[in-house]
Amino acid sequence: MFAALNGQPPLRLRRRGLAVGVAKPRAGERRKERERVTHGRQLTRAARACQTARNLYAILTAFRLACGFIKSSDLNFERRQLAMLSIEQLRGLPFFAGLNERQLQAAAELTELAQFEPNAILFHEGAAADTLYLPLRGSVDLYFNMNGRPNQRVLAGEIEANIPVGISALIEPHRYMMTARAATACRMLKMNGAALRALFETDPAMGYAFLREIAKAALERLHLARVQLAREAEPDLVI
């Protein structure tokens, strides 16, 4: 019926959906396609805007340092302020579910967001426990040394997201009982242990809410240790 070029209908007919075997897109499908393209463009513009803002901040910071407007200590303070989380971000996490608005604000002021690459060490066994961690994404492996030998490590368990790591920061004698290593790329919260303990002295209800979550984490550690011991004793045992 129509002259074909290389076995295909003419381009003008293919565009209109009039060629044999070519279905004309429905109005709903065209609208969804336009929305998808528009959404993709919006995301691209947002990503470019964020990158531009980061570049401008880096340039402005370098200029301020070069001109002596700020000191390195002031810059570190600014970076810590930018890393702090908002109340809204903490409210959605199960670990902070028992806190009220005032307590969330106090916790946010002591909390920073941090990134860890795979195999990065969070802390070593026996070191002073000064930081409590809460993974948001990724997993953390816990090890302990056999008979005090650093080259003989035993895997005690793997900690997933939303389970606190480094709970010794809130429990005496405030020494890490294991070594923690990022098993994957991790995004997590860091909380100052000494500041948290001081805060709990003035707000026992907040301390109780935190320690309740810490107790859950301790029970999880115990379960992981039992599973690991069972696997060591019976490698073929299915748990």
Which CATH number belongs to the domain containing residue 125 in this structure?
2.60.120.10
pLDDT of residue 157: 81
pLDDT of residue 63: 64
pLDDT of residue 155: 82
Indicate whether 14 belongs to any domain: no
Indicate whether 112 belongs to any domain: yes
pLDDT of residue 122: 96
pLDDT of residue 185: 94
Indicate whether 30 belongs to any domain: no
Indicate whether 183 belongs to any domain: yes
Q: Provide the whole-model pTM.
A: 0.61
Distance separating alpha carbons of residues 106 and 99, to the nearest angstrom: 10
Indicate whether 208 belongs to any domain: yes
Angle between helices 204-233 and 101-109 (to 10 degrees): 70
pLDDT of residue 90: 86
Residue ranges making up the domain that contains 141: 87-233
Indicate whether 36 belongs to any domain: no
Average pLDDT per 10 consecutive residues for the chain, totaling 239 residues: 49 47 59 64 57 62 63 54 65 89 89 92 94 94 76 80 92 92 94 92 93 86 73 59
What is the total count of domains within the chain?
Answer: 1
Give the Cα-Cα-Cα angle 91, 84, 63 (nearest 5 degrees): 150
